[in-house]
Chain A
Amino acid sequence: MARLTEVRWHGRGGQGAKTAALLLAEAASEAGLFVQGFPEYGPERMGAPVLAYNRLSDEPITLHSHVARPSVIVVLDQTLIRSGEVVAGLTEGGAVVVNTPDSPSRMRERLGLSDRGGVRVAVVDASRIAVETIGRAIPNTPMMGAVVRVTGLMELTRFLEVVRGLLEEKFAGRPRLIEGNARAVERAYREVRVD
């Protein structure tokens, strides 16, 4: 992986963008990387657009500013794409990962990235996966699986191992949630399609 990967998560209040950013950072830290995970706190309301960030590196990170030029952008809710701001600052060679049933090429068009061949567009129907595995359309955990696949951050088996450990802490005594989330991560990892 590159020395420093900067990730920006776009979601709506209640979809778990913050939780995903923190969980991804925790998992990457367990796997030996240096990490940051932090939300941008605004006037949070259920359904309002929210941002969260990750920095992941194989060296210590001292930057404490917002991520202005992400190499990975994650969109938990495709209705946010209308704003046109979701791909702002995306670096050349970067990737956008969108929760959508659309094809990658259709999504590339919708994102306005048709003339940016150096940028990858990845899609996965994370909401459907979440409904089928967890029982609720909360797309954050499956999107972590998609991000790990697209970035090559770590091996799936290693990632599943640390995520399962973290889920066991978070959902102690609720084995169905642990199983469901772990399966969601794995399915999204396998089902993500890249253009």
Chain B
Amino acid sequence: MGEDVRPGTAEAAGRDDRARRRRTALTGNEAVALAMRQVEPDVVAAYPITPQTDIVQFFASFVADGRVKTEFVTVESEHSAMSAVVGASAAGARAMTATSANGLALMWEVLYIASGSRLPIVMPVVNRALSAPINIHCDHSDAMGARDSGWVQLWSEDAQEAYDNVIQAVRIAEDPRVLLPVMVCYDGFIISHALLNLEVLTDDEVKEFVGTYRPDRSLLDPDRPVTVGPLDLYDFYFEHKRQQAEAMAAAREVIPEVAAAYAALTGRSYGMMEAYRLADAEAAVVVLGSAAGTARFVVDRLRREGRKAGLLKLRVFRPFPASEMAEALGGLRAVAVMDRCDGFSAAGGPVFNEVRSALYGLDGVRPDAAGRPQGRAPNGPPLVVNVVYGLGGRDVDPEDIEAVFDLLFRRIEGEEPRGEDGAGVLSRSLRPSPNTEVHYLGVRE
């Protein structure tokens, strides 16, 4: 700093580049509010709720200070916030909101109107437990409950990923092959209120990356009139839902394309999921959100002890990357799927059920002509157990995750589940069926 560099020279460009790569430290909410300022949507309508509140406060300041030209709509509830962005998006605006927990619950019916109307709204969801009892801390029950609402769901491990996901979400949502709303999930307090390192882009780079939103059709385009939200009975409703399913399937192609473009800009690569030390692993945990970072620390520790541990971090839960999941986990011997949400199916949490479903049938492949076993899991699919953890912000530390790996290695060595016994921080299993283990991590019985 301070040295004389003439603007526009190669030297200055190099310094700009260094400035861009410069590490900074922001809370998760600051990082997301920054991404929203840099995207500068046409409309933001939001209602504050802990732990999302900072985003609304920061963004309101950006508006008041004239740093964005965004039309900021203060509303009296989340139902109205989502309704306002639905209206804005249908009118052809790039629109965003943000919420948490009960706020997301109050948006419920309008979530489906946003996705069914194919409106590319982007919404950070700062994950928090649902009432009752009232709890403001991290839990994935809010977004998991909305998993079937037709929104794309990106999950973030830390402030960097939350920032990066918000910027990528805009391009994913607005891609003509997708045209679906996107939630960007990150953990309440653990990430939203923690000061963490990240690299940020310049305003210009973000604006260039997301481009100008030019919807094919909108309510404010009288030359190409369009109807939004009409009555649609048994004559066409089913076709529209089929198209919606196609759009979600198309997101499977679009998300990696957007990630590749983002990697070219930032050097940071994102896929549908991240496989960490999985290639030769025998046991792995599947996890999304901030606990993935803690799990990575544990995997490194176990590897130093010579134990073949791995991690699969889910980034995209909707669309669900089933075939990539089978590819990544098929060769393992035991997998623990971690759910920060119970789901109350009495048969395991939502991530568990989808992951295990993705692995079903892997052992059903016949041998080829030469009698060699085929398929991704020639020795049969891995044992998959479910671990429910962290509800209402219950801390999950390295020792907790190590206990999960211990369970997996004991099963690999042939130890049968004894009745419903747990061990240490792992609760007894709910045993919903003879081949299903559902443990609770760090809970009092």
Cross-chain contact B25 with A63 (CB below 8 angstroms): no
Tell yes or no: A36 within 8 A of B by CB: yes
Q: Give the distance to chain A from B203, nearest Cβ to Cβ, in Å.
A: 18
Contacts A25-B195, A65-B396, A66-B395 given; does A35 touch B294 at CB 8 Å:
no
A39 and B296 alpha carbons, distance in the complex (Å) = 23
List, in ascending order, chain A residues with CB within 8 A of B397's CB.
Answer: 65-66, 68
Residue of A nearest to B50 (CB): A41
Q: Check if B23 sits within 8 Å of A65, measured CB to CB.
A: no
Once bound together, how far apart are the Cα atoms of A169 and B296, in whole Å?
35
User: Are B25 and A29 within 8 A (Cβ)?
Assistant: yes
In the assembled complex, which residues on chain A have CB atoms less than 8 Å from the CB atom of B272? none
Task: Kindly state whether residue A60 has any CB partner on chain B within 8 Å.
Answer: yes
A62 within 8 A of partner (CB): yes
B193 touches A38 (CB 8 A): yes
- What 0/1 readout, one digit per residue, does chain B (279-311) give for beta carbons within 8 Å of chain A? 000000000001101101100000000000000
Contact between chains at A65 and B395 (CB < 8 Å): yes
Residues of A with C-beta under 8 A to B395? 65-66
Interface size on A, residues (CB 8 A): 21
Would B197 and A65 count as touching, CB distance under 8 A?
Answer: no
Contact A41 B137 (CB under 8 A): yes
A21 to B158, CA, bound (A): 18
Task: Judge if B196 is at the interface, Cβ distance under 8 Å.
Answer: yes
CB pair B195 A62 closer than 8 Å: no
CB of B194 closer than 8 Å to a CB of A: yes
Q: Does A87 belong to the interface (CB within 8 Å)?
A: no
CA distance A76 to B157 in the complex (A): 32
Q: Does B189 contact A (CB under 8 A)?
A: yes
B398 near A: Cβ within 8 Å?
Answer: yes
Contacts of B296 in A (CB 8 A): 62
In Å, the complex CA distance between A64 and B137 comes to 14
Chain A nearest CB, measured from B26 CB (Å): 9
Question: In chain B, what residue has the closest Cβ to A67?
Answer: B397
Is A37 on the interface with B (CB-CB < 8 A)? yes
The answer to whether B293 touches A63, judged by C-beta atoms less than 8 angstroms apart, is yes
Residues of A contacting B158 in the complex (Cβ-Cβ under 8 angstroms): 62, 64
When C-beta atoms are compared, the residue in chain A nearest to B138 turns out to be A64
**Contact between A41 and B193 (Cβ–Cβ < 8 Å)?**
yes
Q: Across the two chains, which residue of chain A brings its CB closest to B192? A: A38
Do A36 and B196 touch across chains, with their CB atoms under 8 A apart?
yes
Residues of B close to A36: CB separation below 8 A: 194-196
Is B355 an interface position by the 8 A CB rule?
Answer: no
Beyond A22-B195, A36-B195, is A64–B190 a contact (Cβ under 8 Å)? Answer: yes
**Chain B CB within 10 A, most for which of A25, A29, A65:** A65
Min Cβ gap B177→A in Å is 34
Q: Which residues of A contact B (CB under 8 A)?
A: 21-22, 25-26, 29-30, 34-39, 41, 60-66, 68
